[in-house]
Amino acid sequence: MPASALAEITVKKGDAVGDWLNRIDIQVGGSIRWQYVNRMGAIDDGSYRHKIYDGGTRFRFTGTYRIDPNTYFKAYYEPGVDTFHLLGAANHYDGSDRRLTTRQRYIALHSDKWGELSIGKQNSIYYDTVGVKTDVWDDDMQAQGPSNGVNADYDGSYRGRRLVNYFNRLGNLDFYLSAILPSDTLDVPGGGPEYSRDFGGAIALNYHINDALELSAAYTYTRANLKQPRAGRDERVEKGQQLAGLGLLWTPGRWYGAIGGGYYRNFVPAGRPALSDYLARDAYGIEAYLSREFATPLGILKSTKPYIAADRLQRTSGNRYQSTHEYIGTSLMLAAGWRIDIERTFTQTSDDLPDENWVRLRYDF
């Protein structure tokens, strides 16, 4: 599916002529991410996050079979790997986390003329248009709908299960449609209710105003069921969950600027025990980011990219809550795909969370 550009290694190059084996194209890629986080005030002393932990390592495997020069089948698999947990490195991982997870797994049929139809676990079209624009720094997605629901795999807002997505480019306009199929049941951690998804749908547009500027809009509706045992009987509530968002991306030369925001109805948990009030009726979030890359031909250090960012999440119903963050950081681009991110998060929240320092070592291939 269309998303941020990724550099892949081609294992086998296929074309649309010859026997079936010659028509197969195989690519691999990945991103190894190790990081350190320190919450100010010594409140997390002794945490595994102080000892370096895995901050989101993933691998990508793509296979395509070319029917003709303009049409192909595609299979995509993206596992997430907690490298320290997999290696059994004590005190470097949360024991409740899994060693291996499936971030994405889908199949697709692509036509240069008719677009692409995909089915499986994959990015939502909300994320692929609005969310992806500001998913670019380390401690990001604090105010995005896709990271503030019950569970983005189950509610379909991020890497959703059982999504059927359609994409086509019509001139300067990218057009997206999605069917959100029923999900299995999730027991929400921390004493929350059982959550299941009945059905849903989404539509999104991404307009390329010029080579350096694009504007996106997305809307998602999901019908969800909440269930909670109460005094020998099950209490049930149905909710219509809605996400509506806008995003703007500006990329002239070495600059990267993005702003995105959304309105979230019956989507963000509200911190109330009553099942009918478990989800905040109204919430909104906004994120912004600005960076500029500077070439620094100093041997191993190829370039530096200082940046600033900010976000705000506000629940306007239920237990009213707000969180605001400002970020300042830099990315050091090293040789051979290596990169170091250094970031400071300044925090103002209703529950007085502390500032944080982040350092991430990343290798992309």
Checking if the pLDDT of 271 tops 90, the result is no
Cα–Cα distances (Å) from 40 to 99, 308, 313, 341, 360, in that order, read: 28, 20, 21, 19, 17
Q: Which fold has domain 124-365?
A: Porin (2.40.160)
Model confidence band, residue 341 (pLDDT cutoffs 50, 70, 90): very high
| Cβ atoms of residues 196 and 185 within 8 Å | yes
Q: Are the beta carbons of 80 and 58 closer than 8 angstroms?
A: yes
Tell me the average pLDDT across 315-337: 92
Segment 227-246 mean pLDDT? 90
Q: Give the lowest-confidence range in 40-54, 109-123, 289-303.
A: 40-54
Q: What is the pLDDT of residue 19?
A: 76
What are the structural domain ranges in the chain? 1-118, 124-365
Report the distance separating Cα 54 and Cα 91, nearest Å: 12
Q: Is the pLDDT confidence value at 70 over 70?
A: yes
The pLDDT mean for the chain works out to 93
pLDDT surpassing 50 at residue 33: yes
Region 283-312: what's the mean pLDDT? 96
Mean pLDDT (whole number) for 94-122: 95
- Looking at the predicted structure, is the pLDDT value of residue 3 above 60? no
| Least confident span in 40-44, 158-162, 218-222, 233-237 | 40-44
What's the pLDDT at 149? 94
What is the rounded distance in angstroms from the CA atom of residue 222 to the CA atom of residue 156? 8
Please give the structure tokens belonging to residue 94: 């949360």
Tens digit of each residue's pLDDT (9 = 90 or more) over 121-130: 999 999 999 9
Q: What is the mean pLDDT of residues 327-343?
A: 97
* Sequence-separated contacts (24+) of 250-253 with Cβ below 8 Å: 250/212, 250/213, 251/212, 251/213, 252/212
pLDDT on residue 6: 63
Residues ≥6 apart with Cβ < 8 Å to 211: none
79, burial (CB in 10 Å: exposed 0-12, middle 13-18, buried 19+): middle
Tell me, what's the pLDDT at 297?
82
Tell me the per-residue pLDDT of 172-224, one tens digit each, with 9 for 90 and over. 999 999 999 999 999 988 778 999 999 999 999 999 999 999 999 999 999 99
The pLDDT value recorded for residue 20 is: 74
pLDDT of residue 158: 96
Q: 213-230 and 233-250 as β-strands: parallel, antiparallel, unpaired?
A: antiparallel
